[in-house]
Amino acid sequence: MSVARVSIQTGDFDLSQEVAALRAGDKRVGAVCAFIGTVRDRNDGSTIASMELEHYPGMTEKAIEAMIDEAHKRFDILGARVIHRVGLLQPLDQIMMVAVVSAHRGQSFEACEFLMDYLKTQAPFWKKEQTPEGARWVDARVSDDAALARWGISAPNA
């Protein structure tokens, strides 16, 4: 059974279940690298009571699929899975996961970091943060030209 490489969902996820599905009895897998992002209670100096994430259905998945394809070209990996939640989230909630499997740890670490840098800088998500000053919409992407340059990716506005 094939596991979807990208899921954009409102519900939570279980890392152990996701990794087990990604490994799926593949005896070539010698390394699993996973990253989970969680909702913090602060951003840009403001307290965050909650956040709501939105995306463009279809477009977001396609963009992340393309980066997973690129990770397969750049690194010797056997598989990757990205989950990103949307909707209303509270501090401490899991918001996203990247998991990568390979024969050796170095390739898993690099591919996981590559995908994380992409998600933080390029993935099309927008968030509305609830702060003591009221609600504010912000682009969820972070400008990190150094992270992009590391992978040979130019910033979209460069």
pLDDT at position 5 is 95
* b/e 93-113 (16+ beta carbons within 10 angstroms → b): ebbbbbbbbbeeeebbbbbbb
Q: pLDDT band at 103, cuts 50/70/90?
A: very high
* Confidence check: pLDDT of 91 > 60: yes
In a domain, 156, yes or no: no
In a domain, 142, yes or no: no
In a domain, 103, yes or no: yes
What angle, 0 to 180 degrees and rounded to 10, lies between the N-to-C axes of helices 105-121 and 59-74?
A: 150
In a domain, 150, yes or no: no
* Confidence check: pLDDT of 109 > 60: yes
In a domain, 1, yes or no: no
* Confidence check: pLDDT of 26 > 90: yes
Whether 96 contacts 83, CB under 8 Å: yes
In a domain, 118, yes or no: yes
Q: pLDDT band at 17, cuts 50/70/90?
A: very high
| CATH number of the domain within which 105 lies | 3.90.1170.40
HSE-CB for 95 with a 13 A CA cutoff: 23
pLDDT at position 158 is 45
List the structure tokens of 154: 């130019």
Q: Which residue matches tokens 């996961």?
A: 97
pLDDT tens-place string over residues 34-76: 999 999 888 777 788 889 999 989 999 999 999 999 999 999 9
Give the number of domains in the chain: 1
Cite the DSSP H helix spans in 33-104.
59-74
The residue type found at 4 is A
- Say what the pTM is: 0.86
Radius of gyration of the CA atoms of the chain, in A:
16
In a domain, 147, yes or no: no
In a domain, 71, yes or no: yes
Q: Which domain holds residue 54?
A: 12-134
The beta strand positions in 94-133, using DSSP E, are 94-102, 125-131
